Amino acid sequence: MHTFSEITELSIAALVDRFYSKARRDPVIGPVFNEAVDNWDEHLAKLRAFWSSVMLTSGRYKGNPIAAHMKLPIEPAFFDTWLSLWCETTTELFAPETALHFREKARRIAESLKLGLFFRPDSNGSGAAMTRRPS
């Protein structure tokens, strides 16, 4: 197995492809992905562009992740499974410092998506609730 020490388009593609191969087989998140994605080649290309934009500031991704996830039947706990698989995969493919960089970005992205999808300020001003926004 090749361990990448640099973040490049090639290493991002390897990560995205391996990660989503695992995610599709996962009993928790796999059914959501497999039901939502009709064309995996197209979807993987979009995800490679997303991670290229995140990690290399390439600007290749043109989309709205919150809108894309809003219509999916996901729960906040799904992000734990997603992050666990992501961490496992980055550890397999990258040198420790590089893997850590990917994991930190993924944690921030997961938190941002969770907030965008589930966080709604309480209407009486006493706090906030993690509830699913209507799609």
Does residue 132 lie within any of the structural domains? no
Q: Which tens digits make up the pLDDT trace of 31-72?
A: 999 999 999 999 999 999 999 999 999 999 999 998 888 888
- Domain range for 47 is 9-118
Q: What is the model's pTM?
A: 0.85
| Spatial distance between the Cα atoms of 100 and 49, rounded to a whole number of angstroms | 20
Q: Given pLDDT bands bounded at 50, 70 and 90, which one contains residue 134?
A: very low
For residue 127, being part of any structural domain is answered with: no
Mean pLDDT to the nearest integer, 93-121: 92
Cα 123 from chain centroid (whole Å): 30
Residue 4: predicted pLDDT: 85
Has residue 87 been placed in a domain?
yes
In a domain, 129, yes or no: no
Q: State the total domains in the chain.
A: 1
